[in-house]
Amino acid sequence: EIVLTQSPGTLSLSPGERATLSCRASQSVSSSYLAWYQQKAGQAPRLLIYAASSRTTGVPDRFSGSASGSDFTLTISRLEPEDFGVYYCQHYGSSARTFGQGTTVEIK
Amino acid sequence: QVQLQQWGAGLLKPSETLSLTCAVSGGSFSAYNWGWIRQSPRKGLEWIGEINHSGSTITYNPSLKSRVTISVDTSKNQFSLKVDSVTAADTAVYYCASSRGALPYWGQGTLVTVSS
């Protein structure tokens, strides 16, 4: 089973700042099968990015994803108030799909 | 826009069977696979399994496979989840979702509590 480790656990930032979230896979994975989700309290997760760097329809272009080997990054270029929440990465390249433990982006 | 509406019992006793159903509307049922995910403070987000639109291909999380059944009713555009012999460790919010590997559309979630 591929284990996804997200860091940091919590990111405290102010609106307008840049957020950089990391997701590291325990073994080599194809970047074609890595997704990022945003979850707010009491809501289901929302798909932001699939195939490591493709934005879902309607996701603002301040969200971007990138990959380097087994390391994946979600960047929010300038935080808006609605961007605060918990972010998860997910690998879906094998029959056993896994999620990271999440990074909380909170208002500083 | 695909919409998923889920329902099922929210309070179970240990050893009972968890049963949830998810109805799909607003899109092509055959365009996606259909899956179940659960979320608990202890284990975070956990993928349970998914089924293709015809029911001919089903994939389960190996850690749950022995107790889980996912099925589809194509005549109603619905799919279902059963988990046998539940314990307190199965307490979680359960979500249904469309799947292309990534999960673009989700149900509203159902809190399932297992308690004697």
Mean pLDDT for chain A overall:
95
Task: Note if the bond before A8 is cis, omega within 30 degrees.
Answer: yes
B44·A92 Cβ contact <8 A: no
Query: A31: pLDDT confidence band, cut at 50, 70 and 90?
Result: confident
- Chain A residue numbers with beta carbons less than 8 Å from the beta carbon of B45 are 45, 88, 90, 99, 102
Alpha carbons A41 and B51: distance in angstroms, whole number: 28
Query: A98 CA to chain B: closest CA distance, Å?
Result: 6
B101·A50 Cβ contact <8 A: yes
Residue A94 contacts residue A103 (beta carbons within 8 Å): no
Closest chain B residue to the Cα of A88, Cα to Cα: B45
A47·B103 Cβ contact <8 A: yes
B95, B102, B108: residue with CB nearest A92: B102
CA-nearest of A42, A7, A22, A9 to B39 is A42
- Chain A residue numbers with beta carbons less than 8 Å from the beta carbon of B61 are 96-97
Beta-carbon contacts of residue B41 (< 8 Å; ≥ 6 apart): none
Alpha carbons B72 and A105: distance in angstroms, whole number: 37
Query: A12: pLDDT confidence band, cut at 50, 70 and 90?
Result: very high
Mean pLDDT for chain B overall:
96
DSSP strand E in A1-108: where? 4-7, 10-13, 19-25, 34-39, 46-50, 54-55, 63-68, 71-76, 85-91, 98-99, 103-107
Low-confidence winner among A26-40, A58-72, B34-48, B69-83 (lowest mean pLDDT): A26-40
Which residue of A6, A29, A97, A103 to mutate against B (max B Cβ within 10 Å)?
Answer: A97
Residue A37 contacts residue A44 (beta carbons within 8 Å): no
Give the mean pLDDT of B32-53: 96
> How many residues make up chain A in this entry?
108
Handedness of CA A49, A25, A97, B67 (dihedral sign): negative
A102·B62 Cβ contact <8 A: no
At A2 the three-state DSSP class reads coil
pLDDT at A32 over 90: no
B100, B102, B108: residue with CB nearest A44: B108
- Chain A residue numbers with beta carbons less than 8 Å from the beta carbon of B59 are 95
Instruction: Show the 3-state SS of B58-116.
Output: EEECCCCCCCEEEEEECCCCEEEEEECCCCHHHCEEEEEEEEECECCCECCCEEEEECC
A96·B101 Cβ contact <8 A: no
Query: B109: pLDDT confidence band, cut at 50, 70 and 90?
Result: very high
Handedness of CA B35, A85, A63, A27 (dihedral sign): negative
- Chain B residue numbers with beta carbons less than 8 Å from the beta carbon of A99 are 44-47
> Is B108 in CB contact (< 8 Å) with chain A?
yes
